[in-house]
Amino acid sequence: MRSSRLLALFLVGASSLAAAQPTPESVPKKEETSGRVTLRETEKGARQDARVPGSWIELASPTPASHGTEFIIVGGADAGTFSQLRIDASKGRTAVRQVRVWFADGTRKTFPVGRTISDKGRKYTIVDLGTPKAIEQVVIKTDDLGGGHYAIYGSSGSGAGVVSSR
């Protein structure tokens, strides 16, 4: 008799432990914060290909340089074509080491930048991509030199495959 009580007590305890296990629905999902999907629509919702040639559109809002490497999804042909990228200092100092661009046609190109931008000095650097092409993704490698944040803009203006600064 005593062993049946122990067995019953054991079964009740085991069933309460099983009931306490979280279900997949009750577990909060972790959000990935390292990737960015950032191509924004214009204020009036106009299509990106209707923009004025040579104008700049924001591809990535101000981003902390402390991440080191940032992936920006641009969106391919739906986003229009770009021949230039502009990396603006929005806060502090940021060393822009390299920009790698994956084009919608499957090609990719790496641009060694090696420039420091600052909200108090050299405000931006421009990467000329050459002939305007649709971009799938941009990967930017940076070093934070003092609370640096940067934003990225794209333009369909003319390009020659070089890096410049202002």
Task: Considering only residues 152 and 38, tell me which one the structure prediction assigns the higher pLDDT.
Answer: 152
With bands split at pLDDT 50, 70 and 90, how would you rate the model's confidence at 161? very low
Give dist(CA 93, CA 67) in Å, integer: 14
CATH superfamily of 35-165: Galactose-binding domain-like (2.60.120.260)
For residue 61, what pLDDT is reported? 94
pTM (global) more than 0.75: no
| Higher-confidence position of 118 and 19 | 118
98-151 pLDDT tens trace: 999 999 999 999 999 999 999 998 999 999 999 999 999 999 999 988 889 999
Q: Which long-range CB contacts under 8 A does 102-107 form with residues at least 24 apart? A: 102/135, 102/136, 102/137, 102/138, 102/139, 103/133, 103/134, 103/135, 103/136, 104/76, 104/77, 104/133, 104/134, 104/135, 104/136, 105/133, 105/134
pLDDT at 16: 52
The residue whose two tokens read 């790698």 is 100
Position 34 pLDDT exceeds 50: no
| Average pLDDT score over residue span 18-24 | 49
Contact 89, 153 (CB under 8 A): no
| DSSP tag of 144 | E
In b/e form, how buried is each residue of 63-99, taking b as 16+ CB within 10 angstroms?
Answer: bbbeeeebbbbbbbeebbbbbbbbbbbbbbbbbbbeb
Q: Which amino acid is at 96?
A: V
Q: State the pLDDT at residue 42.
A: 39
The pLDDT assigned to 55 comes to 87
Enumerate the domain spans of the chain.
35-165
150: burial class by Cβ within 10 Å (0-12, 13-18, 19+)?
A: buried
Q: Which residue has the higher pLDDT, 76 or 159?
A: 76
